[in-house]
Amino acid sequence: MNTLDFITEELGKLKESGLFVNIRAIEGPQGAWITVDGKKVFNLCSNNYLGLANDTQLKSAAKKAIETYGVGPAAVRTIAGTTTLHKELERKLALFKGAESTISFQSGFCANLAVIPAIVGEDDVVFSDELNHASIIDGCRLSRAKIVRYEHCNPKDLQAKISGEKKDKRFLIITDGVFSMEGDIAPLPEIVAIARNFRAITMVDDAHGEGVLGRGGRGIIDHFNLHGKVDIEVGTLSKAFGVVGGYIAGSKRLTDYLTQKGRPFLFSSAVTAADVAACIAAVDTLTASDSLVKQLWENTTSFQEKMRQIGFNLGHTKTPITPVMTGDVKIAKDFSQQLFEEGIFAQAIGYPTVPAGEARIRVMISAAHSRDDLVWATKRFEKIGKSLGILR
């Protein structure tokens, strides 16, 4: 008997129930086509919305930064200082997002863990959409505030729940901007209106919205023209921006406060100069032109139109995140496996990531995909969908 024997048992349970995740090994860079476990496949899995993950300009900026700044930050920013590059990224991001200020973190996950416990504590209440991202849920738990979940994208339920709480507490309403498994968009104008009535702080996590929604990919605040009306905006640099890192956008006093109170900022080293230089190049690229964002939407519209014509149920998506509903999780897994054999990499998603009976293939569209390849992919989907009996 060993004290860690329970792990063997837990892993066994995961494998029996089909929930154990096998992680595929990728050889080479991210792109429309990648080599997975030795096989060349069309990539419909990644969050590389704009194809920036292997962009020439981003790569040369990263190389140059290594020559100038070296490879490691040597300590946390409050102790060893911060590079001028980090400051430049934060300034350019604020301009791009139309925010007064931004502060960068190691990841979007870290940004949520930093900001939520800095804003609310034991005596406060957080109202959180029931489908919010895991990093929001963990940030809420860390804060020790009371967590009240409201129905997904349902302002009426939010209104009812917030009315039920004592008004002398600090209220924080948090929502994902774009929901990663559904592709739907949070009703932010309604949420902002409710927040105003109850003097609640508002926070949106724009991880899947930036580089996608709004003018030239400026995100959900720009999409709804809510500049200055949302207190806290969370972002990631690992999706459309194609690199790694996270940030908070908002007022200068908010970002100043987080340099003093954001624990991942205070106690964990920042991302490297190479990462930051690549992020700056990504922001420069998006600031200079909206052509990649336009391409992303053209690809999205044509793929989704074709898939709906074929007869697939794509749920409630309003964005490039495209759930192809199969219902049964077993069918989703067979579908994903058969797609892979036909040369397409697309992940099956089942319970507990989505509700039982709502399994799906999750297709992520990118500006890097060619129109011909997307048409070819819809034909493979049609063939397999028919053979698995989910198309009439």
Ligand X SMILES: *Cc1c(COP(=O)(O)O)cnc(C)c1O
Q: Which of 205, 210, 233, 358 binds ligand X (CB under 6 A)?
A: 205
Cβ burial of 168 (10 Å; 0-12, 13-18, 19+) is exposed
Q: Which stretch binds ligand X (CB under 6 A): 91-99, 163-171, 201-209, 306-314?
A: 201-209
- Looking at the Cβ atoms of 109 and 381, the one nearer to ligand X is 109
Question: How many whole angstroms separate alpha carbon 31 and alpha carbon 29?
Answer: 6
Binding mask 176-195 for ligand X (x = CB under 6 A): x---x---------------
In this structure, what are the phi and psi dihedrals at residue 153, rounded to the nearest 5 degrees?
50, 35
Q: Which of 46, 104, 143, 180 is catalytic?
A: 180
> Are 105 and 135 in contact, with CB atoms under 8 Å apart?
no
Stretch of 202-210, 218-226, 284-292, 323-331 contacting ligand X, by CB under 6 A? 202-210
Per the omega criterion (within 30 degrees of 0), is the bond before 189 cis?
no
Q: Is-catalytic flag, 180? A: yes
User: Minimum Å distance from CB 292 to ligand X?
Assistant: 19
Q: How far is the CB of 206 from ligand X (least distance, A)?
A: 8
Q: Which is nearer to ligand X, 246 or 350 (CB)?
A: 246
Q: Which stretch binds ligand X (CB under 6 A): 29-37, 38-46, 200-208, 213-221?
A: 200-208
Asked about 316 being catalytic, the answer comes back as no
Least distance to ligand X from the beta carbon of 110, Å? 7
The active-site residue out of 208, 223, 333, 369 is 208
| Residue nearest ligand X, Cβ-based | 108
Nearer to ligand X by C-beta: 107 or 378?
107
Q: How far is the CB of 116 from ligand X (least distance, A)?
A: 12
- Residue 152 known to be catalytic: no
- Minimum distance between the CB of residue 173 and ligand X, rounded to whole angstroms? 15
**Least distance from ligand X to the Cβ atom of residue 246, Å:** 5
Positions in 89-148 near ligand X (CB under 6 A): 107-109, 133, 135
- List 238, 299, 304, 336, residue binding ligand X (CB under 6 A): 238
208 in contact with ligand X (CB under 6 A): yes
Residue 47's nearest CA partner among 178, 322, 240 is 240
207 near ligand X, judged by CB under 6 A? yes
285 is an interface residue for ligand X by CB under 6 A = no
CA 228 to chain centre: 22
Question: Site for ligand X (CB under 6 A): how many residues?
Answer: 13
- Least Å from the CB of residue 185 to ligand X: 12
Nearer to ligand X, 236 or 366 (CB): 236
- Is 226 within 8 Å of 192 (Cβ atoms)? yes
Return residues touching ligand X (CB under 6 A).
107-109, 133, 135, 176, 180, 205, 207-208, 236, 238, 246
Which residues are identified as catalytic?
180, 208, 239
